[in-house]
Structure 1
């Protein structure tokens, strides 16, 4: 039913929007695909239609769904906020209703200012949607060889359909933001980038600084970071951070006094050979790495992790048997962005070297190396050299990081903030990836900042 509804939406709403556009870029208003009737906000929808290749007048159109949420209690002259989802290859539009109905978001989203959500190129409701079905993937890469082959076959299908994957990346998304802003008649504006959306935000600041009042970046992924080369270390550091929290908690420490040694022994066991579950399946080291990567992003999952790791150390792999990887990416878009923005600047040989002899870090090596095989098959050109360099800016920017984050650790944000004359760095303890979703304190600081970006945010709530 879900697939049918998405196809119905694309057929009846986005496709007419694409064909109705007489010149590109353009914006076509249309009814919202989701039902917002019970919400108090005034919500309108449309599709931004842009050329896949802006430098080619004959290029195919690309449709980006847009949802505009008017502020409930608008502050006079407050510029709107454009929200940038993560991934890459994730989505924003399908989450709008949930974000607005969740009580924890009500003090922030579309309260003082209009908020604008859109799916970046290749996202779930974008046209084309670059999803590749039946692929298991985390931010540590395609899990198994069958996932690599499925992604490669999918890339060939995209090319056969006339899609040029060289135009799905952060640099192009930054240009799309300008098209969206102009189409909606927006002058000054704020950006809120989340996860890989922070990379799009930083790229926008670098190439299109005009009219930007301020930027909030939550769970920061800077341009100079290395996706494949650095992730073994960030994953291992996050796991050890969780273990440290367990050691500092009397009950957890008493239950699992040798947790770090057991986790390392568990990792070595998987690295030596795939482990058999009670379901008869063999689970390779990449499966354990994928489990740790996805679990490290979620606060609720982290609270169970010491117990689960101890169970696996004892030979009970039921947690892997029942574990389902997060399904939030259009996997082909994820690959297209990374091939252009990251992989072309990195070395496959360096991935294993950076993992060194750390068994936890080594769990992610093979899946991260898989990126290189897929990118080679996709044939996407890497971005300009500038896109791998650090960004420096005078635009007021709030850097928000979680204490534990296997993909976007706080040291990334702190280092990037040091290059910003008007940057503020905040690390929120006892939180994970996507701080504004987890922490009322973070939401309070973000709201303060968006209303007055030139003032230091009040950090008193961090004490709690």
Structure 2
């Protein structure tokens, strides 16, 4: 059983940590993207009309999810929609939305709508950092939470799952108990959510896309642009297929194609990305001189530790007692998979340390496993999406083969959730079209990091066959979600240029200036 664990490949598409904050009153303003808010008539009881079919509403709220720094004008509120659109008198849910006003005195009329990855990640923590978003120089910028996530009402949290992850990562845990541990967690979480009246079948990519379309309709936005990352690029594809009329352009950062079966490929993608990095090190005279034959030595080390696990002792942060972990290749590969674009240049150095018996970085990583279990924020949403949209299309023969294909990480399953977990979760399979490529002539910019093992560049390249007005940029030496690289905002600059002129490939000097990583040598 492998789930959302710290050691081994981490199958999380931008599942971000979330902190609860409350903030000041939302500031009301009128711009090209938001002037319609003034005209929205809200039911006094917040419910559906007694005489007509339910209509989505945007309700301005004085209480925000986060404290927004002074000087940034915005409207905050909740989009109220049906949980199940086939039941017009059924339960409604509320989805938080920020509408940030452009810094321009003459903003362009087509705002950008942004939602992050996951599934199960919250978009709202981006709100306090709008000063860093270049998109506001020309346009309004709208943040929308995905239904079921942390700040939405309801929120599909799953603390039982987080406790299971914590328990499974402790050094004295018996791996033979893993299946039953996570099965109990899934049962408990499902029972808790369904007892609260939540229909788990309504928390999926199609429903999120419909929510965004409802927001566009409610605000009467004539044209808009989409900025999506990782998992949320699936939302963009559904919007392009089902609600294309008002979409002007789309940026997909680290695309996850509808037609890809993620669970069948994730281990191979990981090894290919590691190989690309180590090839670049070998091609760099200084890196090769400092760490000769690094790929061969590292892969041999992983195979050896898979047969004879590495024992690493770490003092427990509370008791001070030494705890001993036994690590195989599938665990030690995190020297790469836990890196970011900002630290990937250190990976050859860290591998060399490991090969020479320097375990300090590894011990620091293992110490984090003793931190208390989290709230399971958005985990129920993640389970609902994955078990409806990915699990039903999996070829378990391929998954089994992938699990044993690479001796360096033998027994590392590529599946995010075992079949038993999705059987317990019990959501309905989505229609077959949700596993098929879309065709569109909407202008699209596809962005990848060269070393991205979660959504590799070859996936985006394959999408171009069906996207007639698409462009593809691969950021050399970068990893997952380049537009979120705050150390170098070049990908954001490129995306912003595309929104300004979506009929041509962005021509940005910053992209041309990016070369191979400057590897850390000592």
State yes or no: 1:304 paired with 2:335. Answer: no
Matched, 1:130 2:156: yes
Which deviates more, 168-177 or 448-457?
A: 448-457
In structure 1, what is the equivalent of residue 213 of structure 2? 178
| Secondary structure, aligned partner of 1:216 | strand
**Cα distance in 1, alignment partners of residues 280 and 407 from structure 2:** 20
For 1:292-318, what per-residue CA distance to the aligned partner results, in whole angstroms no more than 9, with x for missing partners?
57525x113323322333344455341
Deviations 1:53-93 (A, max 9, x none): 11123432222111110110155543011112101111111
Cα distance, 1:453–1:295 mapped onto 2, change above 3 Å: same
Aligned to 1:394: 441
Is the CA contact (8 Å cut-off) linking 1:399 and 1:425 kept in structure 2? yes
1:211-230 matches, cutoff 5 A: 211-230=246-265
Determine if contact 1:91/1:123 at 8 Å carries over to the other structure. yes
Aligned ranges 1:157-196 → 2 under 5 Å = 157-196=192-231
How far did residue 50 of structure 1 move?
1.4
Of 86, 102, 110, which residue of structure 1 is paired with 2:117? 86
Q: Distance in 2 between matches of 1:294 and 1:63?
A: 35
Note the C-alpha offset of 1:136.
5.9
Whether contact under 8 Å (1:49, 1:61) holds in the other structure is: yes
Residue 333 of structure 1 corresponds to which residue in structure 2?
A: 381
Deviation of the 1:408 alpha carbon: 0.7
Where does structure 2 lack aligned partners over 5 or more consecutive residues?
Answer: 1-16, 25-41, 49-53, 170-174, 315-322, 514-522
TM-superposed CA distance for 1:135, in Å, is 4.3
Q: Measure the CA separation in 2 of the matches of 1:362 and 1:426.
A: 33
Partner of 2:47: 21
* Counterpart pick for 2:459 among 401, 412, 430: 412
Matches of 1:386 and 1:287, distance apart in 2: 34
SS at 1:351 equivalent: helix
Larger Rg belongs to: 2
Give the equivalent residue in structure 2 for 1:428: 475
Shift of 1:290: 7.8
CA positional deviation for 1:454: 1.4
- C-alpha distance after superposition, 1:90-112 (max 9, x if no partner): 111122213x244xx3xx23220
Please give the alpha-carbon distance, in whole angstroms, between the structure 1 residues aligned to 2:233 and 2:449: 14
**Measured at CA, do residues 67 and 414 of structure 1 come closer, stay the same or move farther in structure 2, by a change above 3 Å?**
same
Report the alpha carbon displacement of residue 419 of structure 1 after superposing the two structures with TM: 1.5
Task: Look up the match of 2:503.
Answer: 454
- What TM-score, normalized by structure 1, do the two folds share? 0.86
Matches of 2:19 and 2:299, distance apart in 1: 45
Residue 117 of structure 1: aligned partner: 143
Is contact 2:328-2:409 (8 Å) kept? Answer: no
The 5 A counterparts of 1:20-99 are 20-22=46-48, 23-31=54-62, 32-38=64-70, 40-73=71-104, 75-98=106-129
Distance 1:362 1:112, change over 3 A: farther
Residue 374 to residue 286, structure 1, CA distance change in 2 (3 Å): farther
1:148, distance to aligned residue in structure 2 (A): 5.3
TM-fit CA distance, 1:236? 1.1
More displaced, 44-53 or 245-254?
Answer: 245-254
User: Aligned partners of 1:242, 1:281: CA distance in 2, in Å?
Assistant: 30
- Work out whether 1:249 is the aligned partner of 2:294: no
Task: Tell me the equivalent position of 2:51.
Answer: none
| Cα distance change on mapping 1:272 and 1:278 into 2, 3 Å | same
Structure with more helix by fraction: 1
Could you tell me how far apart the structure 1 residues matched to 2:337 and 2:79 are? 32
TM-score, with length taken from structure 2: 0.77
User: Which residue is 1:442 aligned to?
Assistant: 491
SS in 1 for 2:226: strand
Deviation per residue, 1:332-367 (Å, 9 max, x gap): 2112111112111112332131355323454631x6
Shift of the 370–149 alpha-carbon distance from structure 1 to 2, 3 Å rule, reads farther
Aligned length: 445
Cα distance change on mapping 1:286 and 1:42 into 2, 3 Å: farther
Confirm whether residue 344 of structure 1 aligns to residue 387 of structure 2. no
Q: Does 1:295 find its partner at 2:338?
A: yes
Root-mean-square deviation (Å): 3.2
Seen in structure 2, the aligned counterparts of structure 1 residues 329 and 463 have a Cα distance that, compared at 3 Å, is farther
